[in-house]
Amino acid sequence: MLGRPIVDGAEALRSWAVPLAMPLRTFKIGDPGVAPSVKETRLLSHPPTVRRIERPDFAVQTYGWKFGPPVPGQPVEVVSEQSLRDLVPDRQPLPPREPTKRVRVRPTGDNHLLKDRLLYLLQPPLDGIFDGRQLDVPFEPFPYQLEGIAFLMPRRSALLADEMGLGKTAQTILALRLLFHQGLIHKGLLICPKPLVPNWARELAMWAPDVPFETIAGDSAQRRRSWLVSNCPLKLINYETLCRDADVLKDVNYDVVVIDEAQRIKNRGSRTAEVVTSIRRERSWALTGTPIENHADDLANLFAFVDPGRVPPDTPSKLIAGLTGDAILRRTKDVVQKDMPPKMIVDVELELTGAQRAAYNLAEKDGVIHLNDLGDTLTVQHVFQLVMRLKQICNFDPLTGESAKMERLIADMEEVAESGRKAIVFSQWVEPLLVLADALQEYGPLQFHGRVPQSQRMGILDRFKDDPDSHVILMTYGTGSVGLNLQFTNYVFLFDRWWNPAIEDQAINRAHRIGQKHPVTVKRFLSAETIEGRIAKVLEEKRKIFNDILNNAEKPTAMGLSEDEIFGLFDIKRR
């Protein structure tokens, strides 16, 4: 039916009733479920709300002092401007402030992407990162070490060739740590000689405690799981194990691969070089203290890993510097001496070889049983004899002659000789020096101990000073710790520890003394998880002056440790 038109103002709307197929129901206001709602809508014709802000009134207040009128009869002194100037002392000009050199990570010359260059430009300087407020480090790196970190971080191909003792390990770890933090790398591989694996593990825990790492070791099944299943971001392995797992490496890709003691791959045709260069990687970093610029062929072989194809094998030596200059960083102690302390002491913790560990465990087990069987007759002297026996095994295995310390010493002496430096090796006994003399023949070893006649000793010292082929002299503490001036040497190796610090200091001071022109690096060898480590820990905790309890195998007369602590080295109680 037709509806009635509805008129509203000027408009007229006609409504039509449309029949619906569904039933209709009528609701009334107040019925359950029926609630009217009202919504207000602001029309465009309504004016906007305006809130007036009063003009701010700035009040200025001044403060001063009021002076009373002059006292009658008292003369008024007129002070001239010059007299006031005379009352003010001359101000000395401040000394010019030496500008602080900021060390920043800079993009390499071949990086032309604007986003990458801006990334490095916006990063804070490195000297502000390692001040203890942003990253936890044991101590702030030296300026030259910051420059080494800035060199490594932006490079996909880098050869860090600092002289031994300048901290290549710490620089590399900190560079890796920053790259992990920035998300620029996610998987890394560290390759080093077997004797250096414990050292790298200790340095990683010290310089990058927030970067998880895993040492690849064990049987083939365990190693395969580490390669293919483990998601640990950083893996550590030695060259020998790496070569055994060459087949597994084909299925793994790394963001960065670092090789320590890179001279291990100088021989291009060796198995080690072939396996290392076959690893799939985005970044290639090599560390070596050998002056590679003196050996053109070795440098070309190293770059087969660092940047394959950059240096062809038959490249003339005069062209190599131009091809590799921006990928090599080499500093010597002469250059960075102002940044370093005059004496750097490094504790080198080494794992015993398999034969040494077996002999050591057997000797310690049998020795403790023997001490317990002594009952009430047990004395400190008995414990002391066992200590001396175990210390000798830490030097050399009595059956096979294996020695983790000797392996490390030979590796270090290669860098000493290549750099044209000289070294002193100290031991408590003559017998280890005789073995070392045979092992170090290529470095012109000289011996200076109690078995050398007194009449020949001065001639030996003169030869050691003047002969450029004599890079090492082997001394006992008793003979070489006093009365000698060897300030022309730059390295001191304590093959085994003399537990009286005063004697050790006297030995070290043969090289570190007036007249020394270069920093002295002291390396103190220490066997991990042995009596050497236990004694060092106790003495470090006590921080007392060492006495002669472990100095004289005949008759110890004084003790830096208490008797209870001596017995405690083997969990034995006094009776």
Give CA–CA dist 487/520, Å, rounded: 9
**H or E element in which residue 318 lies:** helix 317-324
Give CA–CA dist 124/132, Å, rounded: 15
Residues 120 and 213 in one domain: yes
Position 174 scores a pLDDT of: 94
- DSSP states of 28-47: -TTSTT----------TTSP
Per-10-residue mean pLDDT of the chain, 575 residues long, equals 47 52 58 60 54 54 58 61 57 50 72 67 76 77 89 91 82 94 93 86 91 93 90 94 91 93 86 93 89 60 87 75 81 67 84 94 88 78 86 94 95 92 94 95 94 86 92 89 75 86 75 73 92 74 39 39 61 58
Give CA–CA dist 512/385, Å, rounded: 33
Instruction: Round to the nearest angstrom and report the end-to-end CA distance of the chain.
Output: 122
Quote the strand ranges of 472-519, DSSP E. 472-476, 491-494
pTM score of the predicted model: 0.57
| Chosen domain end from 332, 355, 373 | 332
User: What is the domain-level CATH number for residue 259?
Assistant: 3.40.50.10810
Q: Name which of 498, 501, 455 is nearest 475 in CA terms.
A: 498
Taken as a whole, the chain contains a residue count of: 575
Neighbours of 278 (CB within 10 A): 12
Position 190 scores a pLDDT of: 97
Position 314 scores a pLDDT of: 75
Domain that holds residue 370: 343-568
Contact present, 491 and 421 (Cβ < 8 Å): yes
Residues 229 and 146 in one domain: yes
Specify if 168 maps to a domain.
yes
Residues 364 and 285 in one domain: no
Give tens-digit pLDDT for 523-573: 999 998 998 887 777 656 643 443 332 333 333 344 345 566 666 666 555
Position 450 scores a pLDDT of: 86
What is the number of domains present in the chain?
2
Specify if 68 maps to a domain.
no
Residues 523 and 399 in one domain: yes
Q: Which residues have C-beta within 8 Å of that of residue 505, sequence separation ≥ 6?
A: none
Give tens-digit pLDDT for 448-499: 998 988 788 888 988 999 999 999 999 998 887 555 778 889 999 999 987 6
Across the strands, what pairs with 236? 190, 215
Position 400 scores a pLDDT of: 94
Specify if 59 maps to a domain.
no
Position 300 scores a pLDDT of: 79
Contact present, 208 and 233 (Cβ < 8 Å): no
Residues 288 and 367 in one domain: no
Residues 403 and 291 in one domain: no
User: What is the domain-level CATH number for residue 514?
Assistant: 3.40.50.300
Give CA–CA dist 574/452, Å, rounded: 42
DSSP, collapsed to helix, strand or coil, labels residue 424 as strand
| Chosen domain end from 332, 365, 393 | 332
Specify if 538 maps to a domain.
yes
Position 216 scores a pLDDT of: 94
Specify if 363 maps to a domain.
yes
Give CA–CA dist 67/64, Å, rounded: 10
Specify if 418 maps to a domain.
yes
| Chosen domain end from 275, 303, 332 | 332
Specify if 105 maps to a domain.
no
Residues 323 and 389 in one domain: no
Specify if 415 maps to a domain.
yes
Residues 259 and 360 in one domain: no
Neighbours of 12 (CB within 10 A): 9
Phi, psi of 531 (to 5 degrees): -60, -30
Residues 459 and 322 in one domain: no
Q: What is the CA radius of gyration of the chain?
A: 39
Residues 385 and 237 in one domain: no
Contact present, 470 and 488 (Cβ < 8 Å): no
DSSP, collapsed to helix, strand or coil, labels residue 79 as coil
Residues 453 and 506 in one domain: yes
Residues 179 and 264 in one domain: yes
